[in-house]
Chain A
């Protein structure tokens, strides 16, 4: 489990990738593996529409911590709620915090300031592992929001530290930037499909991570691969009538996967896990199957 060990001692594992690549499923699988390995794990989803609970087979979180297994909890948070929470923490006097949150300058700032919400989410994760809350965890697995570029999320503290230049937010941004940049504490897992645009974006993201946080991701996962097409020798009388078109589609889609995997490997020499497309609907069964494959890939 060399690869697994590389992830296992982190305090924060950020799972990034565009929408529609199965990012949430992979984040949940990583969370379950870490919990099974003995670490108290919080799975954190930042999405206005919850979907993590469908995979875990739990109640929707609605902002609360939900138990999802041995040593495993899950939580769905709204980014804006985290920003407000941040102010409440910084201002111990509740009435004052309320005033600030309601003030128009703060509203304006919280809605518009790029990177602020992202930073607040990362800050929340940091405080969870540092034990600021009752629900302390050894590690937070963050299913990063699908919108925008995920490098922007990871780079947010650095950009903000620079732009803010002072104040408590600025100080916090500096702390977070150091946390993200520390390979012993924070890990990044990049998820993609083996198709042209997703691979292009994955390669760009790897370059951006190197540039913005000074290091590449720990792991790249190529998800939902069509199975290898059987070699010519095993073909023989392979099909009854009507499967010819399907076989053709299979062969060609797999060829696209292989071509793009090759391109990905040419630009990414680090660890790459391959997860097949599975004949299962989104839900606990799919999660269990993905977890099993991922465990083997990381071994």
Chain B
């Protein structure tokens, strides 16, 4: 099966939550493997059903797992876990075990760092880079975490790196940093004045102390992180990387979809076809329906109209160079490889049109 414009080394599937990104990523992966490419699908949190359909379990958190797909190329799946990846990165870049342990035992890292805004997104691209560098696959399909805003995903690496930038933190936390650590000494600081004193009072001395300790422990690791983030940025903008934007049907999704598309392009990414997923079929108005069916059929008539109205509007708003693929709502979520295979074929048949 020819993947057409999706014949890229890296496909990044983006879109709002609940639009079926993960399932589409898996279906595409299967088609890619059928076409003879060794393919890896990296995903966050697939449903149990999808995991069953692919035949992978929790072990995929630690390493990529091969799917028994019977395809010409191999299909592998890796599940992304932010905390595991963060921990592993710290171990890699830490100069020694003691430095890593200092970070792991820090309260700021333990309680808060795993929840840092954007950390999930950062870890996704980080792991992507790791795998891409190993060169074991012809094609990688990255299913991104559900974020309401495209920016969250695209900007996360920069934001996290900026946050972890101990130079900037040192400057920001200068009055606290220069205390030379030691929990006991900070509260007794007499020289604190003006803004510092207020920040002490508002934010709390203990948290500031934990933060300073964290960033202090992080300093030797920072250069590795920053370099990596730059490489990731380059990879996402490489000529054989393509973003596939998935949207839900209906007119009320259009603003989100256009916003996403614009942001991707502004950030210098290559945007592939836009996929409108879960489109209700055009249904005739029930004329001779039995009473028990009349309301339901009217509802489906409305849903078909609504979704196609949305598609038409979106088509008008996009340029000719931006193809739009409509994937019909499936009767039920895929439960096995055959279902996934069928879904992938629907998607590719749209591409061929």
Between-chain CB contacts (< 8 Å), 14 pairs: A20-B19, A47-B148, A103-B195, A105-B172, A105-B173, A115-B115, A147-B149, A196-B333, A200-B48, A227-B295, A239-B289, A243-B286, A249-B300, A250-B296
Interface size on B, residues (CB 8 A): 68
Residue numbers of A with Cβ under 8 A of B are 18-21, 47-49, 87, 90-91, 96, 99-100, 103-109, 111-115, 145-147, 152, 159, 162-170, 193, 195-198, 200, 226-227, 229-230, 234-240, 242-243, 245-250, 252-253, 255-256, 277-279, 281-282
Q: Which residues of B contact A147 (CB under 8 A)?
A: 147-149, 152
Bound CA span A234–B331, Å: 22
A234 contact set on B, CB distance < 8 A: 290, 292
Contact A165 B207 (CB under 8 A): yes
Contacts A226-B299, A239-B286, A252-B332 known; 5 new A-B pairs at CB < 8 A:
A106-B199, A159-B111, A169-B202, A247-B297, A277-B299
- Please, how many angstroms separate the alpha-carbon atoms of A243 and B304 in the complex? 12
**Cβ-neighbour of A242 out of B117, B200, B284 (below 8 A):** B284
Max chain A Cβ within 10 angstroms of own Cβ: one of B169, B172, B204: B204
A278-B299 Cα distance, complex, nearest whole Å = 7
Per DSSP, chain B at the interface is: helix
Tell me whether A163 and B255 are in contact in the complex, defined as CB-CB below 8 angstroms, given that A99-B195, A105-B199, A235-B290 are known contacts.
no
Q: Give the contacting residue for A167; candidates B147, B152, B200; CB below 8 A.
A: B200
Q: How far is the CB of B14 from chain A (nearest CB, A)?
A: 14
> Given A111-B163, A147-B147, do A279 and B202 touch, yes or no (CB 8 Å)?
no
Interface residues of B (CB under 8 A from A): 16-19, 47-49, 107-108, 111-112, 115-117, 146-149, 152, 159, 163, 168-169, 171-173, 194-195, 198-207, 210-211, 248, 251-252, 255, 280-281, 283-284, 286-290, 292-293, 295-300, 302-303, 306, 329, 331-333
Contact check: which of A108, A168, A236 meets B168 at CB < 8 Å? A108
B198, A96: Cβ atoms under 8 Å?
yes
Write the nearest CB–CB distance from A261 to chain B, whole angstroms: 15
Contacts of A170 in B (CB 8 A): 204, 206-207
CA distance A236 to B47 in the complex (A): 38
Question: Is the pair A164, B48 in contact by a Cβ cutoff of 8 Å?
Answer: no
A163 and B173 contact, Cβ closer than 8 Å, known pairs A198-B18, A249-B281: no
How distant is the Cα of A21 from the Cα of B210 in the complex, in angstroms? 39
B49: which A residues are within 8 A, CB to CB? 196
CB distance from A19 to the nearest CB of B (A): 5
A99 to B47, CA, bound (A): 48
Nearest CB of chain A from residue B219's CB, rounded to whole Å: 16
Contact status A253-B331, CB under 8 Å: yes
CB atoms of A255 and B296 under 8 A apart: no
**Which residue on chain A has the smallest CB distance to residue B202?**
A168
A246 to chain B: which residues have CB within 8 Å?
A: 281, 283, 297, 300
Chain B, Cβ-Cβ closest to A199: B47
